[in-house]
Amino acid sequence: MSDEMKTLCDLWEAESPVHLPHSRLYHLDPIGVGSPLVESLTSYVARLSGMHSVSPSALVRKQILPFLNRPSLTRDGSPVSTFLGQQSVALNSLTATASAFVQAVEQLTLRRDLSLLTMLPYKDVLSGVTLLRRTKAWCSCCYEQRREAKQAIYEPLLWMLSVVTLCPQHAQPLEMRCPNPECARQQLPLTARCQPGYCTWCGQWLGSRKKRNHLKLTDEERTEQLQNGEMVGALLAATSNISVKYLKETFALTISACVDKVATGNITVFANLLQVRTSTVWQWQHGQDIPQLEMLVKVAAFLDISLVDLLMGQMKASTLSPAMRQDGDVPPDRSRKQRRWKRGTRKRLREALEAVMQTPEDPPSSMPEVASRLGYDYRQLRKEFPDLCQSISSQYASYRAKQRVERQQRLCEEVRQAIQTLHAQDCYPSKRQVSKLLTTPGIFWEPEVYRTWKEMIQQLGWRQ
pLDDT of 27 higher than 80:
yes
What sign has the CA pseudo-torsion 142, 143, 148, 150? positive
- Is 147 domain-assigned? yes
Same domain, 146 and 71: yes
Taking only the tens place, the pLDDT of each residue in 225-261 is 898 999 999 999 988 877 766 677 777 888 888 888 7
- Is 14 domain-assigned? no
Percentage of the chain modeled with pLDDT above 90 = 28
- What confidence tier does 337 reach under pLDDT thresholds 50, 70, 90? very low
Highest mean pLDDT among 72-76, 215-219, 430-434: 430-434
Same domain, 427 and 391: no
Same domain, 162 and 203: yes
| The pLDDT value given to residue 335 | 39
- Structural domain span for residue 183: 22-208+217-242
- What confidence tier does 29 reach under pLDDT thresholds 50, 70, 90? very high
Predicted TM-score (pTM) of this structure: 0.67
Q: Any bridge partners for residue 190, and if so which?
A: 85
Higher pLDDT, 35 or 332: 35
Higher pLDDT, 73 or 415: 415
Same domain, 64 and 39: yes
Domain limit, last residue, from 320, 336, 352: 336
* Spatial CB neighbours of 255, under 8 Å, sequence gap ≥ 6: 281, 284, 285
If one counts the domains in the chain, the total is: 4
- What confidence tier does 343 reach under pLDDT thresholds 50, 70, 90? low
CATH at 329: 1.10.260
pLDDT of 218 higher than 80:
no
- Is 3 domain-assigned? no
CA distance 55 to 270: 52
The phi, psi pair for 190, rounded to 5°, reads -145, 120
pLDDT of 324 higher than 50:
no
Higher pLDDT, 97 or 108: 108
Same domain, 150 and 193: yes
Taking only the tens place, the pLDDT of each residue in 117-148 is 999 999 888 888 889 998 999 999 999 999 99
Higher pLDDT, 91 or 358: 91
Query: Which element (helix H / strand E) includes 75?
Result: strand 74-75
Same domain, 259 and 231: no
Domain limit, last residue, from 398, 417, 441: 398
Longest dimension (CA), the chain: 118
- Is 17 domain-assigned? no
CA distance 256 to 281: 9
- Is 46 domain-assigned? yes
Higher pLDDT, 43 or 215: 43
| The pLDDT value given to residue 331 | 43
Mean pLDDT along residues 381-392: 85
- Is 256 domain-assigned? yes
Same domain, 98 and 196: yes
Taking only the tens place, the pLDDT of each residue in 306-317 is 888 888 777 654
Q: Any bridge partners for residue 173, and if so which?
A: 166
Mean of all residue pLDDT scores within the chain? 82
